[in-house]
Structure formats: structure tokens, C-alpha cells
Amino acid sequence: MTLLGILKYPDPFLKTKAKKVESIDDGIRALIRDMTETMYQARGIGLAATQVGVDKRVVVLDVPDDEERRERGKNLMALINPEILESSGSIKYEEGCLSVQGINADVERASNVKIRALDREGNAIEFEAEGLFAIALQHEIDHIDGILFIDRLSPLKRDMIKRKIKKALEAEERAL
């Protein structure tokens, strides 16, 4: 397994709309293994292929049942070509992102979603999710569509966050 580098905002690749996976081969399965290890190393609950510079519609997630008791691998899933079939309800949740480090913000999303995807073996699956699981699915599917959680914020809040990130990057450059 290889740890992959996670792209950081404002890397332009994060705006890439990923391409559909046409065949699930050993390369895709290796990508899933590497993404999973990278997600765990970064202490995330989800990771999209575009976040590691790969132009494929692949996401991995391991969303805990209870935020207090995280059992690594218990809810691990890899989704290939995931799509949201239905969504309902509304929930506001403070999201963060491995590609937008140090920034959290309340994002409004659907509280329930129905998803269709392929699993790592190429089997078609459909399932419903709610709460944090639904939020994480929408967040990762947004990534493979070239959308960051900060894009879902009001223009004022988004601009404030972008300025904060720009300032932090400039301070890093000066320190080098």
C-alpha cells in the first residue's frame, strides 16, 4: 500500500469533474486500497480520488455509527461511479475537509439520500443513507464533481474563508 498525497485548496485539480470508471481492474482496486490507507492516516471519514490527483469517480468512506466510538474499518466502503438517485429533508452540519485544512463551516445538505454505485468487485448496489452518512456521501460525490464544501457556502462566508486560506499560504511562503 502507498500513502497518497492529498491535494490542498486552492489546487486547481480539486475543481476537476472526474471521469466515469469504465472497468474495474487491479489498478482501481489498488487505488481503493491506497485511498483507504491515506484516509485513515489523515484521520478522515471519506476521501475522493480527485483529492489525491486521480481523475476517476471513486470514493472511500468509513463513517462511524457514533462519533464518540470510531471503530476503524467497521463501516468501510468503496464506491465506484456513485450517484445520488433521490434526496430529501434538510440538515445543517459543521463540515471539514482533508483538502481544506483548518476550516470548518456549517453546510446545509439533504438529510436522506438514495445512492447507486458499483462496489470494488463491480457489483451494482443501491442503498439509502441518513444523517452523517448521508452528509459524507454528498460531500465525497461533490468532490468527484469538482465541488468543494466551501462552494456550498454563501458568497460572503466563502470569500472570507478564501482570504483566510490565502493569508495562511502567504505566511507559509514567507517562512520558507
Active site residues: 140
Tell me 66's DSSP state.
B
- Distance CA(152)–CA(108), nearest Å, equals 8
DSSP state of 53: T
Cα 34 from Cα 95, distance rounded (Å): 24
Could you give phi then psi for residue 98, rounded to 5 degrees?
-65, -20
SS3 1: coil
How many CB atoms within 10 Å of residue 115? 21
Amino acid at position 126, single letter: E
For 134, half-sphere exposure in the C-beta direction (CA atoms, 13 angstrom radius) is 22
**52 and 6 in contact (C-beta within 8 Å)?**
yes
